[in-house]
Structure formats: C-alpha cells, structure tokens
Amino acid sequence: MTRPISFCFAATLAMVAAVAACTSSSPKVTAESRSKAAQTNAQLGMTYLHQGNLAAARDRIDKAVEQDPRTPETQMAAGFLYDRLGDDRKAQSHYDQAVRLADGNPEVLNNAAVFYCRKGDKKRGEKLFLEAAGNAMYRTPAAAYTNAGRCARADGRPADAESYFRKALAYQPDQPDALLQMADLNHDGGNDFQARAFLQRYMAIGPVNPQALWLGYRIERKLGDSTQSQEYARRLRTEFATSAETRELLEAEQGG
C-alpha cells in the first residue's frame, strides 16, 4: 500500500504567532495569515497523529479545517485523522473534499484512493489510482498501478488486476509488491510455474515476510518439490513463529 501524503514541517509555532499578531484591515492579509496558521496546525496535527497523540492531533487538525477548509492538504489531514479515529463517515467527507480541491494532484488522489479501496468503494479507489498513475508529474506510477491491481483483485476481477500489475512492472521491473501479487495471482489461477518465477524474482529483491514464505510453501507443494516446500516451512516457523501464516502452516501440516 503507498505511504500517506507527507507534509513539509518547515513552519514553526513562533512564525504562526507572529503572523497572527500582525492584524490588518486588509482582507488579503487576514486570509493569508489564516491560511498559514491552518497549514501549520495541519502539519502539527499530522506530527501528533504519527506519534499516536490522537487528542492533540484532533485539536490541531480541527482548528486547521476551521481556519482554512479550502486546501487539499488540510482536508487530507482531517481524512487521515478521522480514518484513524474510526469515523468513516467524517473521514470520507474530508477525503471527498480533498479530491475535489486537489486539481489532479496525484499525491492527494493516491492517498484518498487507499481509503476508498480499503473501506469498500473499490471502483472509485481504482479510478483514482489510475488517475494518479497517469499523471506525468507523479514520481511513483508503479506503486499506483500496483494499488489499482489490489483494488481490482479485491473486487473480484483478476484479469484487470493482472493488467495493472504488469503495467507496474513495466515501469519498475523490481517493484516488490507487484511481483508478490503476480506470484499469488498465478498460484490462485493454478499456474504455479509462473507463480514460482515471480516469487523467485520477489525473493531476490523484496523483504522476506511470512506472506511470501507461506506462498512459497504452497507453490512448491503444488509443484511436488517437497525439499523446497519444507525449506519455506522451516524458515516460516523459525523467522516468523507467531505469525498468522505460521499458524496456517501448522494447521495444514496437522491436517496432512
């Protein structure tokens, strides 16, 4: 899944206080000071959110939205906050506004798409991922195409998912998540020789995790290579003893 949109943290509270102190009868100056204060509050709110201080994050981000609700960054911060708080209705409202204000900003579209795919509106999430990937200014189209593939696969459309994963790999042949997804997709489709090839490419460059080892075990079992399947099983039990995948492995072994 892609990382949340990052905010620049260059502004300081002292700068905001100085701006707020400079009151003027000019509407332009007042609007500018409120916008800067909102930006700083949103940044501070995101810092608190990453630290797990939800009360402080909510105070700052709610204040930012009150000061200036017309920027995608402020609305996106509120979306992150209420998603974290489990208020899906408010989170979606803020993500909707962030997308409306984004003017095609691929970072905003990608982050909103993560929420939509995770919370059930998979087709909308997929659409936003594709818009982000198609933006020439976007630096990581491979990640967006991979995420679009995840959306399509979760929506029960493996052929579309495969198309997106292949587009991701065309942009970045060593995109680890796309490789692992292709291995899993081919295994599900009964094409375990292809699944093995994609998993081997993944294992050569990607972080070893219980999902990859469990998939490798099942692929090699299907292909009849007991030596390699047991090696995957050994690594899974040794390196990830408490994982859900290890529990599935133990259940499979007990079941024969």
CA pair distance 30, 18, nearest whole angstrom: 13
Query: Which one of 120, 140, 172 terminates a domain?
Result: 172
114 and 200 assigned to the same domain:
no
CA pair distance 99, 107, nearest whole angstrom: 10
43 and 63 assigned to the same domain:
yes
Query: Which one of 101, 127, 148 terminates a domain?
Result: 101
The pLDDT, as a whole number, for residue 74 is: 93
The pLDDT, as a whole number, for residue 34 is: 83
In a domain, 2, yes or no: yes
The pLDDT, as a whole number, for residue 256 is: 60
Question: Which structural domain range is residue 243 located in?
Answer: 182-256
CA pair distance 203, 180, nearest whole angstrom: 9
200 and 152 assigned to the same domain:
no
The pLDDT, as a whole number, for residue 253 is: 87
* DSSP 8-state secondary structure symbol assigned to residue 157: -
In a domain, 177, yes or no: no
The pLDDT, as a whole number, for residue 31 is: 76
The pLDDT, as a whole number, for residue 25 is: 46
The pLDDT, as a whole number, for residue 17 is: 39
* pLDDT by 10-residue block (mean), the chain, 256 residues: 38 37 49 86 94 95 93 94 95 95 91 92 94 92 95 95 97 96 97 98 93 98 96 97 96 82
Number of domains in the chain: 3
